Structure 1
Amino acid sequence: MAHPFLVKDIAFQAGVSTATVDRVLNDRTGVRPQTVARVKAAIRELEKQQAGMEIQGRKYAIDVVMEAPERFTDAVRRAFENEATTFMPTIFRCRFHLAETMRAQEIAQLLDRIRLRGTDGVVLKAPDVPEVTAAVARLESADIAVVTLVTDLPHSARTAYAGADNRAAGETAAYLIGERFAGQAATVLVTLSSNRFRGEEEREIGFRRILRERYPSIGIVEIGEGFGKSEETGVLALDALTRHPEINAAYSIGGGNRAVLAAFHQLDRTCSLFVAHDLDQENLELLRDGRVHFVLHHDLKTDARTAFRAIMGRRTAVAGSGGQCLSAVEVITPYNLPVA
Structure 2
Amino acid sequence: MRPTVHDIAAEAGVSLATVDRVLNNRPGVRSVTRDRVERAIVTLGYVRDVAAANLAKGRSYPFVFILPAGENSFMRGLEAELRSAMARSAAERTNITILSVPAFDAQALAAALSQAHQRRPAGVAVVAVDAPEVTEAVKQLRMDGIAVVTLVSDLPGSGRDHFAGVDNIAAGRTAGTLMGRFLGDREGPVAVLAGSMLVRDHRDRLEGFRAVMGEAFAGRKILPVIEGQDNPALVEELVDTLLARHPDLAGIYSLGAGNRGLVAALEKAGRARTICAIAHELTPHSRAALLSGTIDAVLNQDAGHEVRSAIRVLKAKADGLPVIEAQERIRIDIFLKDNLPIEQA
Scaled by the length of structure 2, the TM-score of the pair is 0.76
1:165 aligned residue: 167
Summarize the Cα distance change of 1:69–1:190 in structure 2 as closer, same or farther, 3 Å threshold: farther
Please list, as runs of the form range in 1=range in 2, the aligned pairs for 1:70-219 lying within 5 A after superposition. Answer: 70=71, 71-83=73-85, 89-101=91-103, 103-219=105-221
Partner SS for 1:313: helix
Summarize the Cα distance change of 1:332–1:102 in structure 2 as closer, same or farther, 3 Å threshold: closer
Return the letter of the residue paired with 1:64.
F
| Aligned partner of 1:299 among 295, 302, 307 | 302
Summarize the Cα distance change of 1:99–1:87 in structure 2 as closer, same or farther, 3 Å threshold: closer
Describe the superposition over 1:208-234 as per-residue Cα deviations: whole angstroms up to 9, x where unpaired: 111111112222224433211011112
Once the 2 structures are TM-superposed, how far is the Cα of residue 266 of structure 1 from its aligned partner? 3.6
How far apart are the structure 1 equivalents of 2:286 and 2:222?
Answer: 22
2:338 aligned residue: 335
- Percent of pairs with identical residues: 30
How far apart are the structure 2 equivalents of 1:139 and 1:321?
Answer: 23
- 2:180–2:217 contact (8 Å) kept in structure 1: yes
Describe the superposition over 1:226-249 as per-residue Cα deviations: whole angstroms up to 9, x where unpaired: 211011112222222222222122
Return the letter of the residue paired with 1:280.
T
Partner SS for 1:89: helix
1:239 aligned residue: 241
- 1:183–1:217 contact (8 Å) kept in structure 2: no
Gaps of 5+ in 2: 1-55
Gaps of 5+ in 1: 1-54
Summarize the Cα distance change of 1:338–1:211 in structure 2 as closer, same or farther, 3 Å threshold: same
Return the letter of the residue paired with 1:63.
V
Which structure has the bigger radius of gyration? 2
Describe the superposition over 1:157-193 as per-residue Cα deviations: whole angstroms up to 9, x where unpaired: 1010000010111111111111112233232221100
2:315 aligned residue: 312
Partner SS for 1:97: strand
Describe the superposition over 1:54-84 as per-residue Cα deviations: whole angstroms up to 9, x where unpaired: x995422221112264322221022234456
Please list, as runs of the form range in 1=range in 2, the aligned pairs for 1:245-264 lying within 5 A after superposition. Answer: 245-264=247-266
Summarize the Cα distance change of 1:102–1:211 in structure 2 as closer, same or farther, 3 Å threshold: closer
Once the 2 structures are TM-superposed, how far is the Cα of residue 86 of structure 1 from its aligned partner? 7.2
- 2:263–2:289 contact (8 Å) kept in structure 1: no
Return the letter of the residue paired with 2:281.
D
- 1:167–1:202 contact (8 Å) kept in structure 2: yes
Return the letter of the residue paired with 2:253.
Y
How far apart are the structure 2 equivalents of 1:68 and 1:185?
Answer: 39
Partner SS for 1:220: coil
How far apart are the structure 2 equivalents of 1:78 and 1:232?
Answer: 25
Partner SS for 2:257: coil
- 2:68–2:102 contact (8 Å) kept in structure 1: yes
Once the 2 structures are TM-superposed, how far is the Cα of residue 318 of structure 1 from its aligned partner? 4.2
Return the letter of the residue paired with 1:65.
I
Once the 2 structures are TM-superposed, how far is the Cα of residue 152 of structure 1 from its aligned partner? 0.5
Summarize the Cα distance change of 1:168–1:122 in structure 2 as closer, same or farther, 3 Å threshold: same
How far apart are the structure 2 equivalents of 1:183 and 1:292?
Answer: 19
Once the 2 structures are TM-superposed, how far is the Cα of residue 139 of structure 1 from its aligned partner? 0.9
Return the letter of the residue paired with 2:169.
R
- 1:312–1:320 contact (8 Å) kept in structure 2: no
Partner SS for 1:207: helix
How far apart are the structure 2 equivalents of 1:327 and 1:292?
Answer: 23
Describe the superposition over 1:76-130 as per-residue Cα deviations: whole angstroms up to 9, x where unpaired: 0222344567787322232222344353112111111110122121111121110
Scaled by the length of structure 1, the TM-score of the pair is 0.77
1:35 aligned residue: none
2:29 aligned residue: none
Once the 2 structures are TM-superposed, how far is the Cα of residue 281 of structure 1 from its aligned partner? 2.3
